[in-house]
Amino acid sequence: GSIIGIIGGGQLGRMLAIAAAQIGYRCHIYAPEDTPCAADVALRHVRGDYADIDALTAFARNVDVLTYEFENIPADPLHALAAFDLHPNATALELAQDRLSEKDYILGHGGRPADYRAISTLADLETALAEIGTPAILKTRRFGYDGKGQARIGDSDGAAAAWAKIGEQPAVLEAFVPFGMEFSILLVRGRDGEIRLWDAPENRHEHGILAHSRVPGGGIIAEQKAAAGDLARTVAEALDYVGLLTFEFFAGADGPVFNEMAPRVHNSGHWTIEGAFTSQFENHIRAICGLPLGDTNLAASRVEMDNLIGAEAEDWMRWLKTDRAHLHLYGKGEARPGRKMGHVTRLYFD
């Protein structure tokens, strides 16, 4: 079978490699770590820096198709891989790794982000706060994940502290959205342009980290998921996107508010491994390999996914003793606070 090259070695790469193996494909992993958790289940691990164009090119030569599972790869080396079969394309990655260009793009395609301003200096921040009001959230344009690189501003006195907290780097200020619920849209687009969506999970975050996803979501999500899904389709087509694309939304009082997008498989889609007829991981592999896409329908009446974060993974044995619970552990070493160690998916047949 063909060999898939995955750039990035975390749990997303691990679950992609497992899905690939199920349908007879093998994976090579490119990651800088000595023991990335994806390498445990891959044919080969090439250790290299994400900015090392020569090493990436050598990696690309030994695989049939290339993908990535980590959105903070520098875009230039990925553009340099344009001669290879790379999906999703480097343009999609470049767009999604900058919160400002991402929000501009969404606005330009009919979506509605929270009111936002570009910030380059403390003076910009003070001006923007006067326009947007408080509460507001200051976020670095790049490299944020799991709520890192963000500062909440409750009143205008907090401007200097927030600017210092995020390291005085290019940022966006966005209005705080008083949402009732959060949800995501998981979309896959094939090489032939076919698009399929899964049902939209309702997501709950704790300390900025995804804690829980459930499908179907609450009533307000049922009302808003069609509009959110339409935006997702429009963007996927405009980007000529191939693979799994994720959009996070707040269910606002006047409809879905776009939060951010991720050009990859997503934590809020882990429930699809057992909870849908085809998982996000398998459909990503199918898409990038030019295979027919699989059925994204629910395989139960309800599905719930809980992340095991830090010490929560210590008592993993209890999940082995629980019927209809599917335990996933990522084989990471140390259970540092805030680190995603695994997850549990439970199916319900009401």
Kindly list the residues in this chain that would bind ligand ATP in the complex (CB under 6 A).
Answer: 114, 137, 139, 144-148, 174, 176-177, 182, 205, 208, 248, 259-260
User: Who contacts 252 (Cβ-Cβ below 8 Å, separation ≥6)?
Assistant: 177, 178, 179
| CB of 244 closer than 8 Å to CB of 266 | yes
Partner in contact with 176, chosen from ligand ATP, Mg ion, none, beta carbon below 5 to 8 Å by kind? ligand ATP
Question: Is 315 one of the annotated binding-site residues?
Answer: no
Pick out residues in 242-271 that bind Mg ion (CB under 5 A).
248, 260
Q: What angle do CA 20, 26, 31 make, to 5 degrees?
A: 95
- For residues 19 and 265, give the distance between their C-alpha atoms in angstroms, rounded to a whole number: 12
177 labeled part of a ligand binding site? yes
116 is in an annotated binding site: no
How distant, in Å, are the alpha carbons of 184, 262, 282, 295, 341 from that of 138? Answer: 22, 19, 36, 39, 28
Residue 231 touches which of Mg ion, ligand ATP, none (Cβ within 5-8 Å per kind)? none
Minimal distance in Å, beta carbon 323 to ligand ATP? Answer: 31
**Distance in Å, CB of 289 to ligand ATP, minimum:** 26
The least distance separating Mg ion from the CB of residue 29, rounded to whole angstroms, comes to 22
Residue 265 known to bind ligand? no
- Say whether 174 counts as a known binding-site residue: yes
Residue nearest to ligand ATP (CB): 177
Minimum distance of ligand ATP from residue 322's CB (angstroms): 27
Using alpha carbons only, give the angle 222, 96, 74 rounded to the nearest 5 degrees.
Answer: 150
Which residue reads 């200051």 in tokens?
138
d(CA 184, CA 269): 9
* CA dist., res. 287 & res. 282, Å (int): 9
Tell me: is residue 340 an annotated ligand-binding position. Answer: no
262 versus 313: smaller Cβ distance to Mg ion: 262
Residue 282 binds which one of Mg ion, ligand ATP, none, with CB within 5 to 8 A depending on kind? none
Give the nearest distance from C-beta 145 to ligand ATP in angstroms. 4
DSSP per-residue letters across 213-256 = EEES--HHHHHHHHHHHHHHHHHHHHTT--EEEEEEEEEETTEE
Q: How far is CA 322 from CA 318, 326, 346, in A?
A: 6, 9, 9
Q: Which amino acids are annotated as binding site for ATP, given as ranges?
A: 99, 139, 144-150, 174-177, 182, 205, 259-260
Q: Which residues of this protein are in contact with Mg ion, per CB under 5 A? A: 248, 260
Q: Which amino acids are annotated as binding site, given as ranges?
A: 99, 139, 144-150, 174-177, 182, 205, 259-260
